[in-house]
Chains A and B, each alone.
Chain A
Amino acid sequence: MLSALFKILIFPGFLFLSVYGLCLESLDRKIYARLQNRIGPPWYQPLADVLKLLGKGTIIPADANPGMFNFLPIVSLAAVASAFIYVPVWGNTASHSFDGDLVIVLYLLTIPTIAAFLAGWYSRSVYATLGSIRTLTQMFAYEVPMFMALLSPALIAGTWSVTGMAAFYSKHPLYILFNIPALFVALVSAQGKLERAPFDAPEAETEIVSGAFVEYSGKLLAIFKMSMDCELVLIASLISAIFLPFTTGIAVVDLLLYFVKTIVVLLFLSLMRSAMARLRMDQLLNFFWKQLSLIAIAQIILNLIIRSRLAL
């Protein structure tokens, strides 16, 4: 009981997730800055931002629904923290796992997006409403390729559990090579999921100020920011657990390997963020539906063929 609580709350649960989220954000901002030929903020900047926001007053718009307005940031953070329980951090085993937890993780991953949509919707501001509509539209765009990309490795592994998949692929590391297109699709859709450039139309600063979160301030905004950082950790961990399951069996080395893997994923995401202009909603939908989804479908067909050939 105590060890389960420790796992959920401290390591590798909520506390680790939050701290690592802030670290990754700091690293992301630093990489982004260096790619832009800037110095970038000091390493503690994300923590300072969160602490400052926590100390600030919260303004709730008169037209907004105060209940939902207060409730949604917590829902968002809770969903991400719950999903993290099923993702392996060091080694191949998550804190908890059962066959089918991949579906749970993917389900919990959509909740922050829905929370952002509702947050914008209940803010009753024209920018927030428009931002939340864009958030939802974007969700329909990236979800299909992302889900297909994350589920296609499961076809070869023959299990619907993240832990099971990680275990399978670390036993047969060469099979990962089949999933390279899916890895690419997953990384690009992850960028869409995290609403980072070039897929940051939902919070396009120069058009709709900052989209769904425009009316948020103080503690509530801090919680939303934390949940976004945690989402980044969750997705980086999920991708590295499914697509890069290299482990040694030694706990400390595996933990270091986990950091290396997530940072490599982050590096790719930061590179993409700095190298492209923001796409318009219509261009974004076209890209996800007409190009990424096709690659993902091809990957599923390929994996089905491989599965029947290898008689797994």
Chain B
Amino acid sequence: MNEKNRVVIPIGPQHPSLKEPASFLITLEGEKVVNAVVGVGYNHRGLEKACESRTYIQDLYIIERVCGICSHTHSTAFCQGIEELAGLKIPKRAAYIRVIVAELERLHSHLLWLGVAGHEIGFDTLFMYSWRDRERVLDMLAAMCGNRVNYGINTIGGVRRDFDAAMLRDVLKMADVLQEQLKYYLDLASTEATLIARLSGVGKLSKEDVLRFGSVGPVARAADVGDDTRVKEPYAAYGEIPVKVITDTHADVFGRTLVRIKEMIESLEIIRFCVKNLPDGDIAVKAPRKIPAGEMISRTEAPRGEDIHFIRSDGSDIPERIRVRAPTEVNWHGMRYMLEGQYLADVPITIAAIDPCYSCTDRAIVIRSDDQTDVTDWQGLRQYSIDWYQKRGVNVPSVKMPESKKYF
């Protein structure tokens, strides 16, 4: 095959397999991927900057909205950092409640992933089934926290809502129902021939490569790298709860599927333990409005991997700097490596297998040199993007833009 037989397929920024905008330029030779260019950064929202002009309590609401799926883990990391800076010790009951919500969140995130993965490989029945079961978890979260995704349960110094006995009974009931379903999915994933054919050997990332690219979460655990913040650096009540780190040796999408399903079963165990051993007492301590000056890095285990928050306080009630490193940010590095040499059909599932969270990850980075700053206007930016694509062989049709419209 020579250069002429190659064809460039743009997957994204708008594509049915992507749930958020990102661009993957896939160069194909026949059905084989010979080159992949990963382009992220379409969804910059300026959350970190917004946090720097609001108080800590107001920031809590922004941080909760970093991610639509793993909102709790972000707010936990943020609250933990501030509590550490302020020298607060949250009540035990609050720590347990944080764990219960975190594990419910992991359940619904992994069930969502299972559905998306099923859809990417054209197995819509799995998609419908797992999203039906995800509804049970979401209903539970809505009953306990008042919201389906942005639970708003965390506050600086503890949690905002207490769970009563009836709620906890319902959680256990839901856990039993879900346990059966998860066993069925595990059975399905390890026996259904077409599923195994589509998943095994796809998106290989060996242990060495995981360590080289610094991948986290199920991607790393599927390659037998037993990194789990819940065990390595226990936070909230994880120090008192037995957590089994799920690892797998397949190092491919199949392994990641097994890891996620087994992690869900493990999550149910954690929830059962928490409900049984939920201590009595207060659910929050009073937090000061002004946080003492200092810097803090706080880590939590999001469903997608390790989530790191950096907080710098200057002693006022407004943070000086906040940095959110969502787990997807490090998982992107291995993506090109995973995509190349595969079939086109495997591209969507390989992208989906890291459970990417595009908007949580996208940041604007300004590279300054010699104090020079470039200012580009709208037309210039548009021309730049057209040239960028044309250089890579994608013909952007000459779309006429209204000249007079003011965008800003």
Contacts and interface: CB of A to CB of B under 8 A. Distances in A.
Interface string B333-368: 000000000011111100000000000000000000
Contacts of A35: 125
A197 B347 CA distance: 18
B386 interface: no
B183 interface: no
Interface in B104-150: 118-126, 128-129, 132
Interface of A: 35-38, 62, 126-127, 129-130, 197-198, 200-201, 204-209, 274-283
A88 B28 CA distance: 46
A118 to B, nearest CB: 19
A207 B194 contact: no
Given A36-B124, A200-B122, A277-B123, A207 B129 contact: no
Nearest to A286: B197
A279 B198 contact: yes
A277 B118 contact: yes
Contact of A37 (B15, B118, B128, B345): B128
A197 B126 CA distance: 13
Nearest to B129: A37
A274 B125 contact: yes
B397 interface: yes
Contacts of A62: 397
B243 interface: no
Nearest to B117: A277
Nearest to B31: A281
A36 B120 contact: no
Given A277-B121, A277-B122, 11 more contacts: A36-B124, A38-B128, A130-B7, A201-B345, A204-B345, A206-B122, A209-B15, A277-B118, A277-B194, A277-B195, A279-B194
Nearest to A38: B128
Interface in B259-287: none
A281 B343 contact: yes
A198 B122 contact: yes
Residue among A130, A200, A280 with the highest chain B CB neighbour number at 10 A: A280
B151 to A, nearest CB: 27
Interface in B161-214: 192, 194-195, 197-198
A235 B114 CA distance: 34
Contacts of B17: 205-207
Contacts of A275: 125
Contacts of B192: 276-277
A281 B122 CA distance: 13
A73 to B, nearest CB: 23
B85 interface: no
B125 A207 contact: no
Contacts of B132: 37
19 contacts: A36-B125, A36-B128, A127-B9, A130-B7, A197-B123, A200-B122, A204-B122, A207-B17, A207-B345, A208-B344, A274-B125, A277-B198, A278-B122, A280-B343, A280-B345, A280-B346, A281-B343, A282-B31, A282-B343
A129 B126 CA distance: 30
A211 to B, nearest CB: 12
Interface of B: 7-10, 15-17, 28, 31, 118-126, 128-129, 132, 192, 194-195, 197-198, 343-348, 397
A126 B7 CA distance: 8
A130 B10 CA distance: 12
Contacts of A281: 31, 343, 345
B198 A280 contact: yes
A206 B119 contact: yes
Nearest to A36: B128
A197 B124 contact: yes
Contacts of A278: 121-123, 194, 198, 345
Contact of B197 (A37, A126, A283): A283
Contacts of B8: 126
A36 B9 contact: no
A277 B119 CA distance: 9
Given A277-B194, A277-B195, A206 B128 contact: no
A201 B197 CA distance: 14
Given A36-B125, A209-B16, A198 B194 contact: yes
A280 B198 CA distance: 7
Nearest to B345: A280
A200 B197 CA distance: 15
Contacts of B129: 36-37
Contacts of B31: 281-282
The 8 A-B residue pairs with the shortest CB-CB distance, nearest first, are A278-B122, A206-B17, A277-B123, A36-B128, A277-B194, A276-B194, A206-B348, A280-B345
A278 B119 CA distance: 9
Contacts of A208: 9, 344
A206 B357 CA distance: 18
A37 B136 CA distance: 14
B165 to A, nearest CB: 32
Contacts of A209: 15-16
A276 B124 CA distance: 9
Contacts of A276: 123, 192, 194
Contacts of B343: 280-282
A36 B129 CA distance: 7
Residue among B192, B194, B346 with the highest chain A CB neighbour number at 10 A: B194
Contacts of B7: 126, 129-130
A35 B129 CA distance: 10
A82 to B, nearest CB: 32
Nearest to B197: A283
A280 B122 CA distance: 10
B274 to A, nearest CB: 30
Contacts of A207: 17, 344-345, 347-348
A175 to B, nearest CB: 33
A37 B127 CA distance: 11
Contacts of B118: 277
Contacts of B397: 62
B154 to A, nearest CB: 34
Nearest to A201: B345
B171 to A, nearest CB: 23
A140 B124 CA distance: 26
A205 B16 contact: yes
A62 B121 CA distance: 32
Nearest to B121: A277
